[in-house]
Amino acid sequence: MKARMIAVFAAGTLLLAGCGGSAEPTSQGTQADNTAQSQPTSSAPGGDAQAAGDVDCSQFTKEDAATFAIWAQLFAQVRDKDAMQSMTMMGYKPEDMAAMLDKFDQLKGHEGEVYGKPDDALVIFRSANDVYAAAIAKGDAATAADFAPLNDLEPDVQSWINSQAAILVTLGAVCPDLA
């Protein structure tokens, strides 16, 4: 229980730190404001993008969003088999994360403020989930090389937080009752 409280506190702190945006001010507002105004909030039919209004918000819970936030924070930090134990202590299971990402796929093509569309972030988290699943399957035989692909997905903690935010901010925009 104590470990979970510490992890929740740490995740919340990192989430708040990542929510600060890096928009450059301009004479017409911030750069992020101008970008958001110039991009559509839904996409046309075709490809992987979803059309507006087709997200089933009843599939999401606040608990799912909170669990994803915690696991995503761990994705930003866990890079060895010893630290991977933290993830499993926090209830992380690759199959549960995959199921969560399957639900989040409905958000493709939608856009949240500042962080944009979650499409790339969903691919990143799905790829990272596969890396962690393979490392967990190896158990004690997992090496640093098994975790190396994670650094190619996102180069630093801030990038992981931005990807997490792209998903959760879009979820909050599309399903405001969850925000």
> What are 61's two structure tokens?
């819970």
Residues 6+ apart with CB under 8 A from 69: 11, 15, 164, 168
53 φ/ψ sector (left φ>0, alpha ψ -120 to 50, else beta): left
* Arithmetic mean of pLDDT, 46-73: 79
DSSP 59: G
Q: Report pTM.
A: 0.71
Identify the residue with better confidence: 83 or 15: 83
The pLDDT value given to residue 53:
61
Identify the residue with better confidence: 91 or 15: 91
Q: Quick check: helix, strand or coil at residue 26?
A: strand
Mean pLDDT of the chain: 78
Q: Quick check: helix, strand or coil at residue 161?
A: helix
* Arithmetic mean of pLDDT, 142-168: 95
Nearest to 122 by CA among 49, 18, 37: 49
Nearest to 110 by CA among 29, 175, 66: 175
- As a whole number of Å, the CA-based R_g of the chain is 17
CA distance 83 to 123: 23
- Going by pLDDT thresholds of 50, 70 and 90, the confidence category of residue 179 is confident
> What are 75's two structure tokens?
């994705």
Question: Each residue of 70-115: pLDDT tens digit?
Answer: 999 999 999 999 999 889 999 999 999 999 999 999 999 999 998 9
How far from 26 is each of 20, 21, 34, 147, 162, CA to CA, in Å? 17, 15, 9, 40, 22
> What are 105's two structure tokens?
């796929």
Residue appearing with tokens 């992987």: 48
DSSP 24: P
Instruction: Tell me the one-letter amino acid at 76.
Output: A
Q: Give the rounded distance of the alpha carbon of 155 from its chain centre.
A: 15
* Arithmetic mean of pLDDT, 117-133: 97
